[in-house]
Structure 1
Amino acid sequence: MKALVIGLGSMGRRRVRCLRQLGVQHIEGHDARADRRSQAAQEYGIAVREQLAAADLHAFDVVVVSTPPDQHHTAMAWAIEAGKPVFVEASVIRDPLPALDEKARAKGVVVAPSCTLRFHAGIRDITRLVHSGVYGKVCNFSYHCGQYLPDWHPWEKVSDYYVSNPLTGGAREIVPFELTWMVDAFGWPAKVQGTKLRTTDVGAPIDDTYAALLRFEGCVGSLVVDVVARQAVRKLTLNFERASLSWDWDGGVVRVWEADAGRLVELHQPKSVAHAGYHQNIGEAMYVAEVDAFLAAAQGRGRFPHTLQDDIRVLSLLEEIER
């Protein structure tokens, strides 16, 4: 198999690692920046291209798009036109996607929008419990995802990459990133309300905090996303009819208080090793599993769990929250 990774920043290099771990030997990369090309070539020994044209994609079996979000649509269009299965990182701009989806479906091209958190062991446990109905229906939940934007890329200024652009800002990007697993676990909300605000200076003129109220059939949830939290956090509190669940990303365990039995049950997630330079809780396993699911779909061995139509719908929720 021959794979082309378009964009060799932090996520592009991560996808190269995933492909390598999954046994893909022939990998090439493209990036307009010489420093990123040099780093990818030195770290992973892959061939790199300074220039790339649509016709070049015919030489590859699969394409991975890891460019900044406002550039996704160009590489996606090239891959779809060439009839190549394409994986694309988390999107934050909806407008170009419906036309691309229509073309991809007409040509029968696999498009796999990233849904990384669906592959996280803790979130998989939570989703399984919700779907099982073993504790009755969900009554309510509250979820907070907080990070500090300058910590994302300590090696460069916030103003030097896409998270400083209000359209692709760090907090704005994380909202659909989280919603993607939430709609899988809880279904699609019937109504959303929200607000966003710039509360402090994180090195860019962006809204740094989003808050949303999500109304589902029979339950309600709240979501807070920020990029001002000096200590990274992902925490969930969820109330079933017959149990209460809590999950802390840092703890690596889902705790469920079973009311009928009067006991606490703990579901421990396996340890996942983080790549050098990343927070210890940002393990590689979920990214590898995600790329594996893409390769399976590209080879006709399975279906990728998140479609481009799903992605468009999630981004519509983001826009509704902002309205």
Structure 2
Amino acid sequence: MRGLLVGYGSAGRRHLAHFHALGVTDWTVVRSGRGTLAFQPPCAVRVVPDLEAAFALGHHDFAVVANPSAFHVATATACIGAGCHLLIEKPLATSLDALGAIEHAVRAADRRVLVGFQFRGHPAVDRIAGLVRDGRIGRVLRAELSWGEYLPDWHPWESYRAGYAARVELGGGVHHTLCHPVDLALRWFGPPRAVTADLVCNGPLGLEVAESAEAWLEWDGGLRAVIHLDYWRRPGGLRVELLGTDGSLEWDYPAGTLRVRDSAGNLPIDEPLPGVAEREALFAEQARHFLAVVAGAEPPRSSLRDGMDAARVTLGMEASARRRCTLHLADHP
């Protein structure tokens, strides 16, 4: 099997290592030379400066799109047109126009696509979906999902201001870069009806992109969710709390715990789960799963539609914050 990697930053390096561990050793790497990470691939690879040069080398079975967010759709569309199945990093897109372009390309080429929401492979995600579906805490009334990471600690080899996450022209902003909680809310409850959001730019880090985001999502039936994202938190982590008519649920990802309390305060479920110390296993499982998707052995956990739905919410957050209003997503296609 022949792979094409577009972008050798921290995500691209990780993908290459995990696929290599699974036996994929025939690689072409598109590397612009503008990145700051030392190039140390785990196996011999062909290095080319652009997609045109990569496609000139012949067919690739799949492509991994791991370049800056603003370039995801253009890169993915070109790779799909060249006959590649696709693993595309989140966010799928940073503009609404781009969403339509990639949907059309995938349908026309009949390629298999996995969007890089690796948390969909964490056992807590399906466990929580089952608990919600089975009514273990009654009807869910409110959800709180929070994720913060201190941006200056991400890439010690470069200034945090230089990375894609901090730059407008590269598709940066915390609502794009840390959009996993948005995807999880959609996984458990489906696409929301409306979003109201506030984005904070030029905060403590002095960035033009959003350094923090607060979003309030609304569903038909009365469910409300609050999503908080920031580039400030130390130590960082993902936490989820669901409040239902008959109890509550708490997932603390860094601590590796899932707890359900009933209405009497009892703790019928108190389960250990993989925590942040096992983070790399999420990417290893994502690589395994993607190869199974390419082979037609498994359906994608995070499909093109899932990626589009999440992007519509994050782009709706932008529009809501800019207009200072509640945005009905049906009116923001």
TM > 0.5: yes
What's the offset of the Cα at 1:133? 2.4
What is the CA deviation profile of residues 32-65 of structure 1, one whole-angstrom value per residue up to 9, with x for unaligned ones? Answer: 1287686233xx1231413233423743211111
Map 1:117-156; keep pairs closer than 5 Å.
Answer: 117-156=119-158
Map 1:23-172; keep pairs closer than 5 Å.
Answer: 23-33=23-33, 39-41=39-41, 44-54=42-52, 55-56=55-56, 58-91=58-91, 92-94=93-95, 95-166=97-168, 168-172=171-175
Aligned partners of 2:133 and 2:166: how far apart in 1? Answer: 38
SS of structure 1 residue aligned to 2:49:
coil
Matched, 1:266 2:262: no
Which residue identity does 2:17 align to in structure 1?
Answer: R
Say how many residue pairs are matched: 313
Map 1:245-256; keep pairs closer than 5 Å.
Answer: 245-256=249-260
Aligned partners of 1:90 and 1:57: how far apart in 2? Answer: 27
What's the offset of the Cα at 1:203? 5.1
Which residue identity does 2:71 align to in structure 1?
Answer: Q
- For residue 294 of structure 2, what is the aligned residue in structure 1? 298
Aligned partners of 1:57 and 1:295: how far apart in 2? Answer: 22
What's the offset of the Cα at 1:159? 2.2
Is the deviation greater in 50-59 or in 92-101? 50-59
RMSD: 2.3
Aligned partners of 1:298 and 1:170: how far apart in 2? Answer: 31
Unaligned runs of 5+ in 2: 321-333
Aligned partners of 1:8 and 1:105: how far apart in 2? Answer: 28
Does the C-alpha gap of structure 1 residues 256 and 37 become closer, same or farther in structure 2, counting only changes over 3 Å?
closer
SS of structure 2 residue aligned to 1:77:
helix
- For residue 306 of structure 2, what is the aligned residue in structure 1? 310
Moved beyond 4 Å, runs of 4+: 34-38
Percent of counterpart pairs with the same letter?
Answer: 24
* Alpha carbons 1:148, 1:228 under 8 Å: kept: yes
- For residue 275 of structure 1, what is the aligned residue in structure 2? none
Is the deviation greater in 27-36 or in 66-75? 27-36
Aligned partners of 1:244 and 1:191: how far apart in 2? Answer: 24
Does the C-alpha gap of structure 1 residues 127 and 46 become closer, same or farther in structure 2, counting only changes over 3 Å?
farther
What's the offset of the Cα at 1:253? 0.8
